[in-house]
Every structure is written in C-alpha cells, then in structure tokens.
C-alpha cells in the first residue's frame, strides 16, 4: 500500500498531528424547519444551522422533511410572524400558497425602532389611553404590562360609556358563529382577519386540522370561530362567514393573508375576495415618506414588526402559544394571542391609511391582494417587484427583563384580568333577522361656533385658491386647515384645548400640533412666531425637530422671534 505524500499525512514524526489546511467546517444539510418552528432557527441561505449551537433540542413531535406534504404549510406562516426588529419577506405574494408552491422566507430589512412615547394617532374611536400607553412603555421588558394587546384599547360602549373594553366572542358551533356574525359584523367595511391551525397539520388531513380557528375583528369586537370544535353534525362553513369572505366590498386585512385564504379555498371551498395585505400599505407609507421608492414591493413584513412600529409597543411572541395545538379547547393565553392578531390588523390599517392620506402627494391604496397587481405611487408610477437577494434574519437582542418564573406569574395574573371582556357564546340563542349598524363614532354635541367659523373659512379658502391661476388645489388636509384656523383666530385656545373642542373623547394633543404645523408648512399660512414656539413647536422634542419636516418652519420661527426682540427693546 503506497504511503501518501508527507504534506497529506495525518502524523509526521517531526510535526506531530497535521490538520487539513481547509478551515471551512462541513456540515450535512438538515431540514431545520422540520425540527423546530421558531423563526430564529430559519435561514434562507441554507438549512445547515446547528441546533445544539443555540442550546435547543429538536422537537420530536414535528419531524418533517422538506419533502413532506406538511413541510411548507406548517412553518411558512410562523416564519412570517417572527419577532421584531427583523422583517420577514416572501418573493411576491408574501404568503403560504401550497397550491402554487409559494412560501415566506426571512428577509433583512430592519424595522424603525424610533417609536414615540405617545400612542400613534388612529382615526378609530377605540384607542389606547395615553396614561395606559405610557405605563406600558415604562413597563419592565418581557412583562405582560409591556406588550401590545387588544385589551389596552377603550372606546364608546353601548351604554354611552367612553371607556368600554373590546368584546371577544368565542364561538364553538356553526349556529353561534352565524348569530355573532349576523349581529355584529355583517355591515362592517373593514375587518381584521387571521387563521390558526394544528401545528402538525398536513394537506392530507381534514379541514378541522388545517383551519382550526378563524379570527375576525372590527374596532369594537373580536370573534373567534373554533371550527375544530364544531359538533360533528355541523357543517363547517357558516353562510354569513362565506358571504363576508367572498364580498369584495368588505375589506379583510391581515399579514400573509393570501396564504390564509388559500387554506379557506382548499379546505372550505371559500373563494375570498376583498383581501388586503397590510405589508403593501406599510411599505407604501414608510418608504413614500422617506423617498425610498425602490424599497416598495409586495414582500411581506411580519405582524410583530408592524405592531411595534405602527402601534408603538412590542407584541407578545411566546413560542409556546404560537406552536400550541389550536384544534383543542383554547386557554386564556391562546384567546388573547389569537384575538390580538386579528385586532392588530384593524388598528394597523387605520393608522397607516391615515398616514397615507397625510402624504403629499397622496398615493392610492394598494389593490386587494387577490388581484395580484403592483403597488402604485401617487403619480401613477408602477413599482416593479423583482426577486431580491435575502439576508439572514437577525436575532432579538432586546433585554430579557425579569426572571422567567416572575414573568410567568405576572402573566397569569394579567390573563385572569381579561376574563370579563371574553364571552363564551351559548348555542341556544336565536339568530337575529335584522343586523345592527356597524360601529359608529359617538354622537357629537352641537358644533361650537368656533368650529363652524373654521369650516366656513375653509370653504372660502378653497374657493379662493381655485380662482388663483398659479395653484389648482389646496394641498393641506381639511382637518389640518380647520385646526389651524381655530388656533390662529382664538388666542385663548392652545392645542390641548383644541383637542377637546374638536372631539369627545378628545383628540391627542400631538395630532392637533401636527395639524397646525402641517397647514402652516404646506400652505404658507401666517402665524404669530412667539405663540407658535410656545404653544405648538414646544411639543416636539428638540432632538426630533432638527430632523423633522418642520425644521425649516422652526428655524424661520426662531429668526422671527430674534428679529422682534431688538424692536421691542
């Protein structure tokens, strides 16, 4: 047997053990997604991550290979709901579509962490009270008090109260599903939507395993339809649910919503229309604001990231809840998690659509997702959606906060406090023939004379602007101009007072501040510099003012005040 050359020998008497020069370790290709559903274990470059390196053991209950029928279906949506600060993106339709072989893969865009200390403005009547929001912002990271949840919101109630909680309806029969839909949801124009299914479901199994739980939400109510628990004698599709899902006039908003609707089509025969991918609106608003139009595409951004950036608080990301068996009776933690997913879609849609309308010029809403049309800019330019190189998903590096046992105890107490707003629907109540009207804003008191004066001025201002040849339309929004006029013409009213004057419950003071500044900036309207500085600009932190759209206005105000000082002296 011929000996190998000296440089390739493992042992040499003069050098001892000789190691190979190639320092690249070679690992076998493993279907990591089949061993564990945690999003931070998934890499789009290859599946060669070593579980032991992360201190995790494979989940023996989910030993799926990449060729197994349930491989894509089980893990794609979980990847799309990973935690901030990382975006999750998919090539085009942004969702699991088993029939077309489309699935979500992790992306690389970093979510903006510059979240305000005040709750973001929402045009909806249900909102997070400012003191509750601040308490959550100051909460210990990782505790129940620090997370975003539907339970934080308050709004007008049926009894005239202004601090009513969101009501959750938990339905376990087709009859109760039909009744709740007929009574509370049929006339809504915007609904949040989500699905959950058994963690080990495959396309060869039943609809109860693949569409275990359906969640829909309006601004005041959430409904959980536990299809997996319907009696065996029940049909699985309530007529009202099918009608809502197939009505293009009712917008159903969600993340990775096309994948959810593919499940409805494959397992329940529902051909969904009017479905809206929140990621499209998120990217349109975010990157139109910064001018990064090249970043606008139809690839998805995970729900947790959108909640953190758009609603101002992190979302609970418990993997034990996400990977639980949704075909079994729900516990309180599962109810809160699933209800929050659907409700988040309602609030994100409202917040982003309001921000879209404030853009100048204003882009149109993205098309419904089932149309498969590109996203449009304000001037009609079509944004291409080429395949883009993906980067590894980052890890969540935020502080862990309290010890795990402490956090669990606090979460148990928190979940018990939710019980009063969750209603387990009984099967014996009749279905009402007449459906109530959708959620409406609380009735306003008769308009204040100062509001009437502002509206009359607005009409005159618009008419006067149209008659001037150099400008065709008024660029500032009506709400901005109305708030400006009330502030400018009434020296006894500051933004806080105007917020109370314009609406009950009051607008956020920061909203009125932005209205006033935007009207002055866009329309070049006159103002008292000293008053603007003292009452309006003072609300914006100095470190933010220098980089905001109001930087030039703030500088002009400063110079005007400086010029007035010598005159007065």
435 phi/psi in degrees, rounded to 5:
-95, 140
Question: Does residue 540 lie within any of the structural domains?
Answer: yes
568: confidence class by pLDDT, cuts 50, 70, 90: low
Least confident of 304-308, 333-337, 341-345, 507-511: 507-511
Per-residue H/E/C for 280-319 = HHHHHHHHHHHCCHHHCCCCCCCHHHHHHHHHCCCECCCH
Domain co-membership, 38 together with 153? no
CA–CA distance, 138 with 154 (Å, rounded to integer): 20
Contact between 488 and 520 under an 8 Å Cβ cutoff? The reply is no
CATH number for position 162 = 3.30.420.10
286 lies in the same domain as 320: yes
Find, among 360, 243, 369, the residue nearest to 300 by Cα: 369
Does 114 or 72 have the greater pLDDT score? Answer: 114
For residues 453 and 492, membership in a common domain is answered with: yes
Report the phi/psi class of residue 143: left, alpha or beta, with left for phi > 0 and alpha for psi in -120 to 50.
beta
Containing domain of residue 23, as a range?
6-71
Pair 391, 484 in one domain: no
- 452: which residues sit within 8 A by CB, 6+ positions away? none
Domain termination site, one of 55, 71, 87: 71
If asked whether residues 278 and 383 sit together in one domain, one would say yes
Residue 193 lies in a domain: yes
Q: Are residues 214 and 290 in the same domain?
A: yes
Residues 194 and 343 in one domain: yes
| Assigned domain for 539 exists | yes
Question: Looking at the domain assignment, is residue 305 inside a domain?
Answer: yes
Query: pLDDT by residue (tens digit) across 220-262?
Result: 999 999 999 999 988 999 999 999 999 999 999 999 999 999 9
7 burial via Cβ count (<10 Å: 0-12, 13-18, 19+): exposed
Could you tell me if residue 442 is inside a domain? no
CA–CA dist 32, 14 (Å, integer): 44
Residues 178, 194, single domain; the answer is yes
Domain end call among 363, 389, 424: 424
Q: Give a yes or no: residue 41 inside a domain.
A: yes
Number of structural domains found in the chain: 3
Same domain, 11 and 138: no
Is the confidence at residue 185, as pLDDT, over 60?
yes
Task: Tell me whether residue 434 is in a domain.
Answer: no
pLDDT band of residue 107 (cuts 50, 70, 90) is very low
Final residue in a domain of this structure, among 14, 43, 71: 71
Q: Are residues 38 and 78 in the same domain?
A: no
The verdict on 413 and 560 lying in the same domain is no
pLDDT tens for each residue of 377-429: 887 555 555 443 333 333 333 333 444 455 555 555 545 555 555 666 656 55
Q: Judge if 138 and 108 occupy the same domain.
A: yes
Pairwise CA distance, residues 285 & 218, whole Å:
22
Q: CA 556 to CA 529: how far, in whole Å?
A: 8
Helices 509-523 and 495-502, packing angle to 10 deg: 100
Does residue 440 lie within any of the structural domains? no
pLDDT at res. 102: 35
């Amino acid at each position: 047997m011929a000996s190998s050359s000296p440089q390739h020998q493992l042992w040499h008497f003069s050098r001892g053990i000789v190691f190979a020069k190639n320092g690249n370790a070679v690992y076998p290709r493993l279907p990591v997604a089949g061993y564990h559903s945690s999003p931070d274990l998934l890499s789009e470059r290859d599946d060669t991550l070593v579980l032991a390196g992360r201190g995790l053991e494979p989940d023996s209950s989910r030993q799926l290979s990449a060729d197994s029928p349930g491989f894509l279906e089980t893990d794609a949506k979980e990847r799309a709901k990973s935690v901030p600060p990382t975006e999750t993106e998919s090539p085009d339709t942004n969702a699991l579509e088993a029939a077309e072989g489309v699935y979500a893969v992790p992306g690389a865009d970093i979510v903006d962490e510059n979240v305000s200390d005040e709750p973001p403005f929402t045009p909806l009547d249900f909102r997070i009270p400012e003191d509750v929001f601040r308490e959550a912002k100051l909460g210990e990271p990782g505790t129940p008090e620090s997370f975003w949840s539907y339970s934080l919101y308050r709004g007008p109630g049926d009894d005239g109260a202004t601090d009513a909680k969101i009501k959750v309806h938990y339905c376990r029969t087709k009859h109760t599903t039909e009744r709740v839909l007929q009574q509370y949801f049929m006339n809504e124009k915007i609904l949040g939507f989500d699905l959950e299914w058994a963690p080990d479901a495959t396309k060869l199994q039943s609809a109860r395993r693949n569409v275990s739980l359906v969640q829909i939400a309006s601004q005041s109510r959430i409904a959980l339809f536990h299809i997996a628990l319907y009696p065996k004698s029940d049909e699985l599709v309530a007529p009202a649910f099918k009608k809502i899902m197939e009505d293009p006039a009712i917008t159903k908003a969600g993340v990775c919503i096309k994948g959810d609707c593919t499940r409805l089509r494959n397992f329940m025969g529902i051909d969904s229309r009017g479905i809206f991918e929140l990621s499209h609106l998120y990217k349109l608003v975010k990157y139109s604001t910064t001018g990064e139009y090249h970043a606008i595409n139809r690839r998805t951004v995970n729900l947790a990231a959108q909640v953190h950036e758009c609603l101002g608080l992190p979302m609970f990301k418990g993997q034990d809840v996400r990977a639980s068996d949704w075909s079994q009776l729900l516990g309180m933690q599962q109810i809160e998690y699933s209800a929050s997913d659907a409700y988040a879609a309602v609030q994100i849609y409202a917040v982003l659509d309001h921000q879209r309308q404030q853009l100048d010029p204003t882009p149109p809403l993205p098309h419904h997702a089932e149309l498969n049309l590109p996203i449009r800019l304000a001037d009609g330019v079509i944004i291409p959606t080429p395949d883009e190189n993906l980067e590894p998903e980052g890890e969540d590096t935020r502080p862990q906060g309290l010890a795990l046992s402490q956090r669990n105890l606090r979460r148990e107490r928190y979940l018990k406090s939710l019980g009063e707003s969750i209603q387990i629907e009984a099967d014996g109540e009749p279905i009402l023939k007449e459906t109530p009207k959708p959620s409406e804003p609380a009735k306003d008191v008769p308009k204040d004379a100062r509001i009437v004066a502002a509206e009359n001025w607005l009409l005159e201002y618009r008419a006067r602007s149209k008659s001037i040849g150099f400008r065709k339309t008024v660029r500032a929004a009506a709400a901005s101009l109305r708030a400006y006029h009330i502030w400018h013409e009434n020296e006894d009213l500051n933004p806080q007072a105007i917020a109370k004057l314009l609406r009950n419950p009051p607008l956020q003071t920061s909203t009125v501040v932005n209205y006033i500044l935007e009207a002055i900036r866009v329309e070049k309207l006159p103002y008292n510099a000293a008053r603007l500085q003292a009452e309006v600009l003072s609300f914006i932190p100095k470190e933010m003012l220098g980089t905001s759209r109001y930087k030039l206005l703030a500088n002009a105000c400063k110079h005007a005040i400086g010029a007035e000082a010598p005159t007065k002296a």
